[in-house]
Each structure stands twice: as structure tokens, then as C-alpha cells.
Amino acid sequence: MYVRMTFFKVSDGKISDLRDLYNKEVIPAHKNHKGVRFVHLLESLDDKNEGISVTAWDTKADVDAYEKSGDYEKLVGMFKAMYSGEPSLRSYEVTASSEPILLRIF
């Protein structure tokens, strides 16, 4: 399984607007992509203007296909006016899990 995480900060008072747009645009946009397991928005408990968008994918090929689709850039662009800086994208492979069946399935 593979996980992509976009770390971001928003301008004061914009997290609610970001959450609304995330639910309206980001979650539905991922439903059409093969291999997506989940899409989550995490909001920091320590900094009300900080968050992480997390997606999980079955295979590296699914991640690559998503990256080539251009949807990520399109979605990030929708939030540009809300960001207080550039978001940072990181990708990871899940190599250990409390649910070891996940590692054997894919």
C-alpha cells in the first residue's frame, strides 16, 4: 500500500472554507481513480491553520496513474488562495502495519 500526504498551512480563518471545498471537490474526485483506498483531511489540534491531506493507494502503478492524470495539480490549484505558503507533497510505501493482511494483499 502507498500513502501520499500533502502538508499545508492556511491563512487565519480559512480552515473551515478549506474543509468545505475538500468535501465538495477532493473526495469525489478520487472516487474515479483506480486503487484509491481512502481520502482523509487531517486538521491539527496544535495549530488551527495546519493540516494534512492523506490518500492511500493499492499499488505504485495506481499512484503513478493518479500523478499522470493531472488531477492533483488541478485540486491543489483550487486551494491556492487559502494557503499561507506552498503545500508540500510526500509519498510513502507502507512497510509495516498493525493490519499485516494489508501488506500481503498488495
pLDDT at 100: 66
16 vs 48: CA distance, rounded Å: 10
Hey, where are the domains in the chain?
2-105
Q: Which helix (H) or strand (E) holds 92?
A: strand 88-93
pLDDT at 99: 75
pLDDT at 36: 96
pLDDT at 103: 55
**Which architecture characterizes domain 2-105 according to CATH?**
2-Layer Sandwich (3.30)
pTM recorded for the entire structure: 0.89
pLDDT at 83: 96
Of the candidates 59, 60, 61, 78, the one whose C-alpha atom is nearest the C-alpha of residue 6 is 78
Render pLDDT for 49-66 as a digit per residue (tens, 0 to 9): 999 999 999 999 999 999
Q: Are 66 and 33 in contact (CB under 8 A)?
A: yes
DSSP 70: T
- The percent of residues in the chain predicted with pLDDT above 70, rounded, is 93
Pinpoint the alpha helices (H) of the chain: 15-21, 27-30, 60-69, 71-79, 101-105
- Residues in the chain, pLDDT under 70: 100-106
pLDDT at 38: 94
